[in-house]
Amino acid sequence: MDRTEFLRQFVLSEISDDYENVDQIIFPAVAKIGRDHGFSVERSDIINALKALVADGLADAYTLSSHEPFSVRLDSMPTLDAPEVDFKTYFLITKKGRNCLMDRSTNI
């Protein structure tokens, strides 16, 4: 498995149980996993992985709010050029993504 696929799997795993924000959860968690495996991870690596996962239908992007509607699915990958301070954009695995993640885990 190459580095790109490795990162995609880490990111997919991070968003598999709850809505997760890039800057709050995904980037710090995957960067730590990367360090544990001997390579550095940049925020741009996470954004690229999420772009690919969203494009492939394995993840969806959402905006979350404390009032209705609490979550709104976005039609496409949002622009995340700068780190979010207000943590409004989140990602969640899709059913297709969950099946892909489960297939990968059974092959390991």
Whether residue 107 lies inside any domain: the answer is no
Has residue 64 been placed in a domain? yes
Chain segment 11-56, per-residue pLDDT in tens: 999 999 999 999 999 999 999 999 998 989 999 999 999 999 999 9
| Backbone dihedral angles phi then psi of residue 74, each to the nearest 5 degrees | -90, 145
pLDDT higher than threshold 70 for residue 108: no
- Provide the 8-state DSSP code for 23: I
1-6 CB contacts, 8 Å cutoff, 24+ apart: 3/39, 4/48, 4/49, 6/37
Long-range contacts of 31-38 (CB under 8 A, 24+ apart): 34/7, 34/10, 37/6
pTM for the model stands at 0.88
State the residue range of the domain holding 30: 3-97
| Strands of 71-73's sheet in order across | 71-73, 59-64, 89-93
Domain assignment present for residue 12? The answer is yes
Residue 68 lies in a domain: yes
pLDDT score, position 105 = 58
**How many structural domains are present in the chain?**
1
According to the model, what pLDDT value does residue 11 have? 95
Quick: pLDDT tens for 61-104.
999 988 898 999 999 888 888 888 888 899 999 999 999 887 76
Phi, psi at 91, each rounded to 5°? -130, 150
Residue 107 is predicted with a pLDDT of 47
Say yes or no to pLDDT of 106 above 60. Answer: no
